[in-house]
Amino acid sequence: MRKYLVAATIWGAASAAHAADLPDLPVLRGSFTDGLSTSRTNWSGFYVGGQGDYGALTANIPPAVNADLQASYTSGTSNVYRWVDLGQAKGTTSGYGAFAGYNWQWDDVVLGIEGNYVHGGFHAASSSMRYNYDVGGILQSTTYSTASVRVDDFGSLRMRAGWTAGCFLPYAFIGGGVGSQVVDRSISANPAPVGYAFVTSSDHKSTRVYGYSAGLGVDVALFAGLFVRAEYEYQRVTTNIDSNINSVRAGLGYKF
């Protein structure tokens, strides 16, 4: 019996010594995902990316925007020409663009500056038509009036502020920028004014415009610096014809 007790004592001591020499493996304390669920993504540094968007443009076209064109149809004509004022213009479209920026990170807080560009061709149009009768109720003319607004390009400089949550970076932004706005106007009448060789009078003008933007979004880290983006932006053009654009975007970027 004594030799069995001695053997058991020696085996127990050897087992304890072997366990003490084992490395402190995470699997001995729990799952490997325990550490991953609380890890923080490093968003500091430069990043670039591309994006696509879909949005709606609302343009506050002045009711009498075509008054100068319409005035040319009243002099020296035998027909009666009266016009209906134009109303607000609305339209939807899609576009594409790019972005690039730099982030600074302090613990979970991320601040950044970003340049954002969209070639959208956002377009909205308004039109009106009127039948003009004389005192006896005889149709004298039919008049048409149209105006359209298109915001072709808009580049903005943004300030961003976000909060990291694992691989997610929800953020808010505000910025200002410059773009190109194209306004097309036209009127026509039937029958045409006496002495006029044309039926339609039109005007095309491209103008540099300024505005601001604000919105919310989220960047999601994938792997090796690659991330995806989803975003909502409100944009307002405050010069020339006042226009508002609401758009949603999806993008793919890379952080260096």
Q: What is the pLDDT of residue 190?
A: 80
64 contact partners, CB below 8 Å, separation of at least 6: 85
Q: What is the pLDDT of residue 18?
A: 47
Chunked mean pLDDT (size 10), the chain, 256 residues? 45 47 40 42 95 92 86 67 86 92 96 94 87 76 88 93 95 95 88 64 84 96 94 90 93 96
**Cα angle value 177/215/40 (rounded, 5°):** 115
Long-range contacts of 194-202 (CB under 8 A, 24+ apart): 194/76, 194/77, 194/78, 194/79, 195/76, 195/77, 196/73, 201/69, 201/72, 201/73, 202/69
The per-residue DSSP string of 131-181 comes to: EEE-TTS-EEEEEEEEEEEEEEEEEEEEEEEEE-BTTEEEEEEEEEEEEEE
Residues 42-60 have pLDDT tens digits of 999 999 999 999 999 999 8
Residues 215-242 have pLDDT tens digits of 999 999 999 899 999 999 999 998 888 8
Q: What is the pLDDT of residue 43?
A: 95
Q: Where are the beta strands (DSSP E) in 107-138?
A: 109-133
Count of all residues that appear for the chain in the document: 256
> pTM, whole model, 2 decimals?
0.74
* Domains of the chain and CATH, by start: 44-255 (2.40.160)
Q: What is the pLDDT of residue 191?
A: 78
Q: What is the pLDDT of residue 202?
A: 80
Please give the Cα distance from 154 to 140 (Å, whole number).
45
Query: What one-letter code names the amino acid at 97?
Result: G
Residue pair 43/220 in contact (Cβ under 8 Å)? The answer is no
